[in-house]
């Protein structure tokens, strides 16, 4: 019998039977715990229920839902009988869902609630293969929706059908698990599409098993660990996190991507591990600064002083321990001599900062926090430095859906600053120039990877598969990178995001945007300028902070959105941007932002942003074409 996700999980259930697996809120917003044995019983029942409604091995099951207990039960039940899921979040548009369900040829779709059912039902005429629906919401009444030519079941009805089948044949689900192979497809995840039409990434059981098997080599995870879950569960990063959490004996806390709710849940459930995306860590940092700004002048001065102390302490600690990236060989003896006395001098001050300031921040995270992981996008350096200064361990990782998705992560006990760490065990990498020549450490090129985590290809799209996946298994990530002499990787931007000005200058927009976002008055930004004389930007102000500035400077306004039309505000924000992006800060003269347009509405997930909050640059460029054109008149 081959190892699959379900056969592996079945063994883990025997090991962790009574330990908590899930923490989910009931109707009264109180957390209820589900043990490993209880979870596996539900998975058994749901899988058997699918068998009772004639779901076949290899069948494609659409899933349109956000994070909840029933999602993971459905997911593992589907995989147990050898079918595979085609997942999407509830914020997906009808057109997006129509394309995916039709392209993936789904005869069944699991939907979260009545709203999602109605959304999919409205496009049913364009989905001739779709015949069956399962609604996860327990309040949904299928009797109220009798549609010609379709069957509608509730989650509970499928569970009940499974119970009935298991009473007749107790081993029916286990027999299906035993038929599985590691190379079987587990899912087809359609890329959120920062560029072009979504492509269906085919990931196998073996792809995900690699993630479970190897991440523990770099990170201490196991029984008793509590993972906070806020990212979309259908996304490859969160999905891999949930498998790693459960399959190593940890438990999942389902929370919401809403600051107030998330922080309340952290204080209540005391997570030890929090995997998230850069934008969330940036928001946590902004929230801390906002709280500090509302305090007294003494409180602000004390906070800023200890952040400065923490930053200096961390730099010399990293130098002393050899945790600075080495793109060229560093002299360890000199590093130790240079760093030892500053480290000794600043250590007591850092300890005092922990007592007076940083301990309170850690308490807000629940008090048991071991580490956070930032993935699915580049972590801005100022956010990275901030959490390092506070003593909160934040480990930057890197991956892509086509790699199931984790490729690398900083090691928990020897995190090399300013890198995404080494690749996971069993993965190899190379960095190549445009001609395909492999480059040495310290030189910039395109990152290629190879390993058991790499996808089978894009579903029904051999042309696109050939563009990034070679016959001998090398995946072109499309990311620009360089590596250290010890094998850690630093990501420098996206190959396709590089802006080329009319003068031929190549510019990576990511570092510019990260630097601009250090301003407390700017919420979102996208740098533009392809084939233009100079760089421009689309800027979404942080209206709350901007309104505070306006009041402090006696600028009259009715509502915050009116501020973007005021010349004084435009001049102020121009100074803010220029103070961040200039030659003194290490930027070249042609990287200066010459003009910008202020936007009233923020970029939204599903429209201008991917589910992991990355900019959909091509979409934004199309939506705001007229405004961008104004920058160059």
pLDDT tens, residue by residue, 184-222: 999 999 986 544 578 999 999 999 999 999 999 999 999
What's the pTM value of the predicted model, to 2 decimals? Answer: 0.83
If 0-12 CB within 10 Å is exposed, 13-18 middle and 19+ buried, where does residue 32 land? exposed
User: What CATH architecture is 5-218+230-243?
Assistant: 3-Layer(aba) Sandwich (3.40)
What CA–CA distances, in Å, run from 147 to 61, 118, 163, 371, 604?
A: 20, 11, 27, 49, 33
Distances (CA, A) of 485 to 19, 169, 451: 43, 58, 21
SS3 229: strand
Q: Are 111 and 136 in contact (CB under 8 A)?
A: yes
For residues 358 and 349, the answer to whether their CB atoms sit within 8 Å is no
Give CA separation, 31 vs 25, 47, 266, 323, 362, in Å: 4, 26, 12, 40, 22
Going from the C-alpha of 1 to that of each of 19, 80, 183, 271, the distances in angstroms are: 27, 14, 13, 36
Determine the average pLDDT of the residues in 345-358.
Answer: 93
Nearest Cα residue to 616 out of 324, 202, 196: 196
Mean pLDDT of 311-322: 96
State residue 503's pLDDT score. 67
Position 514 scores a pLDDT of 85
**Dist. CA 361–CA 349, nearest whole Å:** 17
pLDDT for 143: 63
Helices of type H across 462-554: 462-468, 509-516, 543-552
Q: What strands lie across the sheet with 535-541, from one edge to the other? A: 522-528, 535-541, 593-598
Q: What pLDDT shows up at residue 144? A: 52
CATH topology of domain 498-630: GMP Synthetase; Chain A, domain 3 (3.30.300)
Which range is least confidently modeled, 16-20, 200-204, 624-628? 624-628
- Taking the C-alpha atoms of residue 474 and residue 505, their distance in angstroms, rounded to an integer, is 30
CA atoms within 13 A on the CB side of 155: 25
CB 618 within 8 A of CB 195: yes
* 607-620 pLDDT, tens digit each: 888 776 778 887 88
Q: In whole angstroms, what is the distance from residue 366 CA to residue 360 CA?
A: 10
Q: Which sequence spans correspond to the domains of the chain? A: 5-218+230-243, 498-630
- The larger pLDDT score, comparing residue 608 to residue 99, is at 99
Quick one: tokens of 4? 């699959």
pLDDT, tens digit, for every residue of 541-551?
998 888 888 88
For residue range 488-516, what is the model confidence (pLDDT) as tens digits? Answer: 999 987 777 778 776 667 787 888 888 89
Which pLDDT value is given to residue 17? 94
What is the rounded CA–CA span in Å between residue 119 and residue 66?
15
Residue 633's pLDDT is 75
Angle between helices 278-293 and 297-321 (to 10 degrees): 140
CA distances from residue 126 to 55, 101, 565 in whole angstroms, order as listed: 22, 10, 45
pLDDT digits (tens, 9 = 90+) for 167-179: 999 999 999 999 9
Q: According to the per-residue pLDDT averaged within each range, which of 30-39, 296-305, 622-631 is highest?
A: 30-39
pLDDT over 70 percentage in the chain: 97
Phi and psi (nearest 5°) for 371?
-165, 160
Higher pLDDT, 555 or 412: 412
User: In the prediction, which pLDDT does 195 show?
Assistant: 47
- Residue where the block lists tokens 């910039």: 444
The dihedrals phi and psi of 422, each to the nearest 5 degrees, come to -85, 165
Structure tokens at 256: 């919401």
For 422-444, write each residue's pLDDT tens digit. 999 999 999 999 888 999 999 99
Query: What pLDDT does residue 148 have?
Result: 64
pLDDT value for 282? 84
Tell me, what's the pLDDT at 192?
A: 63
Which of 121-130, 403-412, 501-510, 535-544 has the highest mean predicted lDDT (pLDDT)?
403-412
Q: What is the mean pLDDT of residues 322-333?
A: 94
**CA separation for the pair 495, 476 (Å, rounded):** 10
Residue that is written with structure tokens 């121009």 in the block:
574
């Amino acid at each position: 019998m081959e190892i699959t996700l379900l056969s592996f999980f079945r063994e883990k259930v025997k090991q962790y039977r009574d330990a908590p697996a899930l923490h989910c809120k009931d109707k009264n917003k109180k957390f209820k715990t589900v043990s490993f044995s209880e979870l596996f019983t539900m998975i058994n029942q749901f899988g058997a229920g699918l068998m009772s409604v004639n779901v076949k091995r290899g069948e494609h099951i659409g899933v349109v839902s956000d994070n909840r207990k029933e999602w993971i039960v459905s997911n593992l039940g589907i995989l147990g009988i050898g079918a595979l899921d085609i997942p999407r979040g509830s914020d997906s548009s009808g057109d997006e869902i129509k394309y995916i369900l039709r392209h993936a040829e789904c005869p069944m779709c699991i939907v979260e609630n009545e709203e999602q059912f109605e959304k999919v039902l409205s496009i049913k005429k364009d989905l001739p293969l779709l015949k069956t629906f399962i609604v996860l919401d327990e309040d949904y009444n299928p009797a109220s929706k009798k549609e010609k030519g379709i069957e509608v079941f509730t989650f509970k009805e499928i569970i009940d059908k499974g119970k009935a089948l298991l009473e007749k044949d107790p081993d029916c689900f286990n027999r299906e698990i035993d038929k599985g192979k590691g190379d079987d497809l587990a899912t087809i995840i359609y890329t959120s599409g920062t560029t072009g039409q979504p492509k269906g990434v085919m990931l196998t059981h073996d792809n995900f098993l690699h993630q479970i098997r190897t991440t523990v080599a770099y990170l201490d995870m196991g029984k008793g660990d509590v993972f906070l879950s806020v990212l979309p569960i259908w996304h490859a990063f969160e999905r891999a996190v949930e498998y790693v959490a459960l399959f190593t004996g940890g438990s999942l806390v389902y929370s919401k991507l809403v600051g107030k709710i998330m922080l309340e849940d952290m204080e209540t459930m005391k997570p030890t591990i929090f995997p998230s995306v850069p934008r969330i860590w940036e928001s946590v940092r902004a929230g801390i600064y906002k709280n500090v700004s509302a305090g007294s002048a003494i409180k602000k001065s004390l906070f800023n002083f200890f952040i400065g102390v923490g930053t200096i302490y961390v730099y010399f600690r990293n130098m002393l321990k050899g945790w600075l990236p080495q793109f060229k060989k560093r002299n360890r003896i000199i590093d130790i001599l240079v760093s030892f006395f500053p480290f000794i001098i600043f250590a007591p001050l850092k300890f005092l900062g922990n007592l007076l300031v940083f301990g309170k921040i850690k308490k807000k995270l629940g008090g048991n926090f071991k580490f956070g992981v930032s993935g699915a996008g580049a972590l801005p350096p100022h956010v990275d430095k901030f959490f390092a200064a506070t003593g909160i361990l934040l480990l930057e990782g890197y991956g892509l859906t086509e790699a199931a998705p984790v490729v690398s992560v900083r090691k928990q006990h020897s995190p090399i600053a300013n890198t995404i760490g080494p690749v996971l065990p069993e993965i190899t990498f190379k960095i190549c120039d445009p001609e395909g020549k492999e480059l040495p450490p310290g030189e910039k090129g395109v990152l290629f990877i190879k390993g058991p985590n790499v996808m089978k290809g894009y579903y029904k799209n051999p042309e696109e598969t050939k563009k990034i996946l070679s016959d001998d298994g090398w995946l072109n990530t499309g990311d620009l990178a360089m590596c250290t002499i010890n094998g850690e990787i630093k990501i420098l931007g996206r190959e396709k995001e590089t802006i080329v000005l009319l003068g031929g200058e190549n510019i990576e927009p990511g570092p510019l945007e990260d630097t601009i976002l250090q301003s407390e008055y700017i919420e979102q930004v996208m740098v533009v300028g392809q084939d233009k004389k100079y760089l421009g930007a689309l800027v979404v102000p942080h209206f709350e902070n901007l309104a505070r500035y306006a009041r402090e400077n006696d600028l009259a306004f009715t509502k915050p959105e009116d501020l973007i039309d005021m010349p004084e505000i435009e001049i102020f924000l121009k100074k803010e941007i220029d103070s961040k992006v200039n030659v003194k800060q290490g930027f070249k003269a042609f990287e200066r932002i010459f003009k910008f347009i202020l936007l009233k509405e923020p970029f939204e997930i599903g429209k201008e942003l991917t589910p992991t909050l990355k900019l959909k640059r091509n979409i934004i460029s199309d939506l705001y074409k007229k405004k961008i054109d104004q920058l160059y008149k």
